[in-house]
Structures are given as C-alpha cells and as structure tokens.
Chains A and B, each alone.
Chain A
Amino acid sequence: DAGVIQSPRHEVTEMGQEVTLRCKPISGHNSLFWYRQTMMRGLELLIYFNNNVPIDDSGMPEDRFSAKMPNASFSTLKIQPSEPRDSAVYFCASSLDRGLYEQYFGPGTRLTVT
C-alpha cells in the first residue's frame, strides 16, 4: 500500500527561480495538507484542501506561494520567485475526512534556495 508520494525529494535552486513541488495523496483520502518545517518555526500548515477545493490558505506566506489540486490524486505547491528564506522541508499529508487528526505524511521535499 503506497503512502503519500512527494517529488522531488531534494531541490536546490537559485534565488528568483520558480520551484514546483508535487504530491500524490493516498488513494481514497479526500483531504490534503501542505506543511513547511523549519528549525525556527517548526511545522506550519500552509494550505488545506478538501475534495480538491482549498479550504484554508491562511498559512500561505505570501503571493509568491500558490497551490493547486486539479484532481484527487495530485497536488502542486509552487513558489515563484523563490527566496533563500523559503529554504525548508515541505511536507504533504493526506487524511480521510472523519480521521482528520490522523494525517499521513509524505517523506518531504528538502528545498534549498541559494
């Protein structure tokens, strides 16, 4: 049984470049979450989709960040233009509606912006 799949696992890019992170949730899960983890700020929720619709994007830092979920099996998080302060590990997680506290996290994408 495949878990949440994220790609790429590592991304190194230069400031100003566009970065796209990808996520495939667990089949049958209808909620998807994007998190950012840093030493300073811990684990922060960026955006939350339910049935492919964005429910809460209050955690998205600024307009440089955008997220989409075109279908139930795919989501992207895009940063354009990227900045060094965006360097972090980005996690995607999915859950069933009724088990919202039980989220399944992917392995994360470690982003480094130089």
Chain B
Amino acid sequence: QQQVKQSPQSLIVQKGGISIINCAYENTAFDYFPWYQQFPGKGPALLIAIRPDVSEKKEGRFTISFNKSAKQFSLHIMDSQPGDSATYFCALTLKQGAQKLVFGQGTRLTINP
C-alpha cells in the first residue's frame, strides 16, 4: 500500500519565522500532492496543491516544493503567524485502481507569539 511519511510530528516556531513540513512517498503512481490544514474541532480543509510536473507553487505565505527525483515534497509557511497554528496533513492522490487520497500522519504546528 502506498504510504506517505510526514515529518516532524510536531513543530514549534516563533512568530515571523519559517515553518517547514516535509513528506516522502514511495511509489510513483500519483496525480496531485495536496496539503490540508485542520484546526481543533474542525474537519481538514484544502490549503494548497501541486501537480507533479511543477516544482514549486506559491500562494501567499504558503509554498509547496516538489522534488520528483527524491520523492519528496514540502510545505513552507513564511512569516508564520499564531493563526497558522493547526495540524497540517500532506497527501497524494493515487492513480492506480480507485483514485483516492492517502494522507500523511500530520504535523501539529504551534506558532508562539
């Protein structure tokens, strides 16, 4: 079964700093690499997504970087704010069989004011 390994499990960053979350995958049969953000008591919500033919995508303070040869992708949050404190999940969509999302284990991000 396809797996996505996410690190770190938890991360504490000072306000204004850069938060970096990494994910590694094993297989190559995928379509998209989305990142989801989840606040306590809420369901996950799509934050940003990247296609495998693109090496980087930026939306505001959020940037996804994709390294196909290393089979890794990462989320960078620039100028991190206390409101960014949440759990972040990387994911990928499988091409083989029934298409579905496979999620990483999640990273609990805390931004200290």
Which B residues lie within 8 Å of A108 (CB)?
A: 42-43
Is the Cβ of A106 less than 8 Å from the Cβ of B43?
A: yes
B20-49 contacts to A (CB < 8 Å): 31-32, 34, 41-46, 49
Chain A residues with a Cβ closer than 8 Å to the other chain, count:
19
Which B residues lie within 8 Å of A48 (CB)?
A: 98, 100
Chain B residues with a Cβ closer than 8 Å to the other chain, count:
23
Is the Cβ of B100 less than 8 Å from the Cβ of A56?
A: yes
In the bound complex, CA of A61 to CA of B74 (Å): 31
Interface presence of B105 (CB below 8 A) = yes
With CB as the reference atom, state the residue of chain A lying closest to B103.
A43
In the bound complex, CA of A28 to CA of B68 (Å): 34
In the bound complex, CA of A43 to CA of B100 (Å): 13
Residue from B97, B98, B104 having most chain A Cβ neighbours under 10 A: B98
Could you tell me which B residues sit within 8 Å of A by CB distance?
31-32, 34, 41-46, 49, 89, 91, 93, 97-106
Interface presence of A14 (CB below 8 A) = no
**Contacts A55-B98, A56-B100 given; does A105 touch B43 at CB 8 Å:** yes
In the bound complex, CA of A91 to CA of B46 (Å): 14
Is the Cβ of A102 less than 8 Å from the Cβ of B34?
A: yes
Is the Cβ of A101 less than 8 Å from the Cβ of B49?
A: yes
Which B residues lie within 8 Å of A93 (CB)?
A: 43
Is the Cβ of A101 less than 8 Å from the Cβ of B105?
A: no
